[in-house]
């Protein structure tokens, strides 16, 4: 990872100081991106389980109705 550098404000020092402001900004952007992808994943999982549960409940209702009609 490249960290930008700038000269110290002391004239004549000639040393470069790393700006550490960019590290937290980059880290927070990556963290937000990660959580966004995680939310999208969980949304997909919830939609999947919702479909499975609705299909199972439909099958249970059909089976129950078949059993009830056979007894009566």
DSSP string, 56-69: HHHHHHHHHHHHHH
Provide the whole-model pTM. Answer: 0.51
Of 3, 6, 22, 2, nearest in space to 14 by CA:
6
Question: What does the pLDDT read at residue 6?
Answer: 55
**Predicted pLDDT at 63:** 78
Distance from C-alpha of 61 to C-alpha of 54, rounded to nearest angstrom: 11
Whole-angstrom distance, CA of residue 72 vs CA of residue 8: 91
Give the residue ranges of the chain where pLDDT is below 50: 1, 14-15, 17
CA distance 46 to 21: 38
């Amino acid at each position: 990872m490249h960290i930008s550098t700038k000269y110290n404000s002391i004239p004549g020092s000639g040393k470069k100081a790393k700006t550490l402001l960019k590290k937290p900004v980059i880290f927070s952007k990556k963290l937000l991106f990660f959580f966004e992808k995680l939310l999208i994943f969980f949304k997909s999982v919830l939609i999947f389980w919702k479909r499975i549960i609705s299909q199972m409940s439909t099958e249970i209702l059909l089976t129950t109705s078949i059993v009830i009609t056979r007894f009566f």
